[in-house]
Amino acid sequence: MYLKVDLSWNVIIKAENLDSKGLMLQRAIITRLLEEFALKKATKDLGYFIAVNTLDNIGEGRVRQHTGDVLFPVKFSCLTFKIFRGEVLEGVVHKIMKHGVFLRCGPIENLYLSNQKMPDYRYVPGENPIFMNDKMSKIERDLVVRVMVIATKYVEIEKEFQAVVSLEGNHLGPVS
């Protein structure tokens, strides 16, 4: 689910990047904000940081005593992507194993669909393994599959979400 979030962050501008012209200073603040935004990647509460929408306010700068750098409080709105239990998503299959498949959905690389959560599908080994049911419906690499999230986990070290998903429910499965 995409969320619009209002945030307040402190942006630090190095003393050597300060300029007497206001426009250059504003540009340096925006550039630094975008750099920090990209580095942050995701948080447990907000999900993945996708894009800055608006820059609402740049507060008055305060000089840091020991470095001479200037700290600016910045208020902005941004778009984030976070998954929730019970949510229906569409993911692309990127890895097939005997015990299940991994899908990608937006910035999330690890949606795991266990073979136990694919009713009527069975594993078919080979050079390009697939899961297939009696109606000849296939789950194969690069296929879009509609799934329901049954559990999520945030891995702080990697700043990533992982999820276990299922095909059990109405209107779930391969998307044609």
**For each successive 10 residues of the chain (176 residues), what is the average pLDDT?**
94 74 73 89 94 92 86 94 96 96 95 95 94 93 97 94 95 90
User: What is the pLDDT, as a whole number, of residue 9?
Assistant: 93
Domain stops at, among 66, 81, 96: 81
pLDDT of 68:
82
User: Which one-letter amino acid corresponds to residue 19?
Assistant: D
Residues 92 and 76 in one domain: no
Q: What is the CATH number of the domain that holds 26?
A: 3.30.1490.120
Q: Which domain holds residue 128?
A: 88-174
pLDDT at 105: 96
Dihedral of CA 84/86/91/97: which sign? positive
Number of domains forming the structure of the chain: 2
